[in-house]
Amino acid sequence: MVRKMRLGSSSLEVPVLAVGCMRMNKIEKPEAERFIQTALEEGVNFFDHADIYGHGECEEIFAEAIHMNDDVRENIILQSKCGIRKGMFDFSKEHILESVDGILHRLRTDYLDVLLLHRPDALVEPEEVAETFDILKSSGKVRNFGVSNHNPMQIQLLQKYVKVPLVANQLQLSITNSTMIKSGLNVNMENDAAVNRDGSVLDYCRLNDITIQPWSPFQYGFFEGVFLGNEKFPELNQRIDEIAAKYEVTNTTIAIAWLLRHPANMQPIIGTMNTERLKDCCKATTIHLTREEWYSIYRAAGNILP
């Protein structure tokens, strides 16, 4: 069983890995049932959704495949996201409330453990978000709140009005997309790596007990493909394979172990729908890479230390 941790400053005990359900509409129902069953057997009972995944289909398939009922619901942790609409972002009260009702209906539940605002809305009215969260909390529809793809100032702006602490920030992070780590290693340098693209979100989240949930932990670029076994990354794959051989695990395990080794206690959201790969990800929770191994993977991804 994978180990547990506290999600942000909430009282939620969560597995250190979460299953991302964005690709659940790409598999057949029996496969989805098997996959979810394996996740539960491994102790990965945290499922990440969004209202837009498969236009709602992923949430529906999930509820059906897990055979949702009160007993099942009690033993899992459900997170979903809203705020992305066609051609815009929308954190209005009306849209958030409507989205949550749709999510609960599709997931066949009457509450979410965590609701995240999916992507910053330029027209956000933080007072309105606070009022909306109050309604969702007091009605029991949502127990905890967080954000996704937000920088520190955007979080502070929301937090000025939202009464409950925001507990998670879901951000793109993998060995090949590590800008939030890179800029912190190149402070004040005249190189590209020093460019701070996120307002030091990694340090901010650590300082404020906000759990970072890395999304797309195996992808390079913006959904361009998987870096593991990819000829575009020969040096990186060679190094990962060497370390995988040492620990007698797969390269998949090492890619996740690299994220888990960071002391920020992140909770990677893994997107595989393959049960064997899921088990490999879970093995990562038992591996503690050495400092030398962690940095050698970082360097093999093409990063230069100052």
Ligand X SMILES: NC(=O)c1ccc[n+]([C@@H]2O[C@H](COP(=O)([O-])OP(=O)(O)OC[C@H]3O[C@@H](n4cnc5c(N)ncnc54)[C@H](OP(=O)(O)O)[C@@H]3O)[C@@H](O)[C@H]2O)c1
Using CB under 6 A, list all residues that contact ligand X: 20-23, 48, 148-149, 170, 215-219, 226, 228-229, 252, 269-274, 277
Between 163 and 197, name the residue whose CB sits nearer to ligand X.
Answer: 197
Q: How far apart are CA 152 and CA 182, in angstroms?
A: 17
HEC string of the chain equals CCCEEECCCCCCEEECCEEECCCHHHCCHHHHHHHHHHHHHCCCCEEECCCCHHHHHHHHHHHHHCCCCHHHHHCCEEEEEECEECCEECCCHHHHHHHHHHHHHHHCCCCEEEEEECCCCCCCCHHHHHHHHHHHHHCCCEEEEEEECCCHHHHHHHHCCCCCCEEEEEEECECCECHHHHHHHCCCCCCHHHCCCCCCHHHHHHHCCCEEEEECCCEECCCCEECCCCCCCHHHHHHHHHHHHHHCCCHHHHHHHHHHCCCCCCCCEECCCCHHHHHHHHHHHHCCCCHHHHHHHHHHCCCCCC
Question: Residue 258 Cβ, how far from ligand X at the closest point, in Å?
Answer: 13
Active site residue 247: no
Which structure tokens are listed for 251?
Answer: 């390269």
CB of 114 to ligand X, least distance (A): 12
CB of 305 to ligand X, least distance (A): 25
- Name the residue nearer to ligand X (CB basis): 56 or 271: 271
Name the residue nearer to ligand X (CB basis): 98 or 241: 241
User: In the bound complex, what is the minimum distance in angstroms from residue 170's beta carbon to ligand X?
Assistant: 4
CA distance 35 to 61: 12
Active-site residues, by number, are: 53
